[in-house]
Amino acid sequence: DAALSTESPPELGREVFDHSPPPNAGMMLIWKRTAFMAGDPLNPNVLYFSRFDFPEAFPALNTIEFDERITGMFKTYIGLCVVTETAYWRILNDNPDYTVDRAVNGMGCVGMRGAGSGREMGWAVDRDGFRLYDLRTTIKASEVIRDRVDAFNKVNLQESHVAHSRKDNAI
């Protein structure tokens, strides 16, 4: 009834009272008691984030727009990383006063399942390989593995096995 109010529930656009439902998204991540969602087919460049401590409430104003399609997200011990097709973006600070900056140019992520979180680092797969990233430096995983193998005693190298452990953040 227009006589009651012209606003549509749940008070769309009001900073404190807007409890809009979550958007369509293909990726979701919880970081610092906030839900982050990306991969909306209609808005592939937009990162949505919930109200602090209300992961079911996504105010219309809580968005960050990037200059290209978001292809991955992961968190590290320092902050949140959003990966686009050709860049890594750092998101630091607290909801809603985030600092967003482009940290790495020329490297991105191939798609939604091409990025994830380890224990202290995140990882992303780009067109040139698999990289680890802790929001400070990007390391090509093959270099890390090569350095480990170079340090081995080569006498019994044929008896060594390789396995990935997310729990222990090790290869």
The answer to whether residues 27 and 39 touch, using CB atoms and an 8 Å cutoff, is yes
Distance CA 137, CA 104 (A): 9
The 10s digit of each residue's pLDDT in 9-31 is 555 555 556 667 788 899 999 99
Question: Are the beta carbons of 138 and 132 closer than 8 angstroms?
Answer: yes
What SS3 state is found at 151? Answer: helix
Q: For the segment 86-118, what is each residue's pLDDT rounded down to a tens digit?
A: 999 999 999 989 999 999 998 888 887 788 887
The tokens describing 109, both together, are: 């992520």
Query: Strand, coil or helix: what is 145?
Result: helix
C-alpha 81/C-alpha 116 separation (Å) is 10
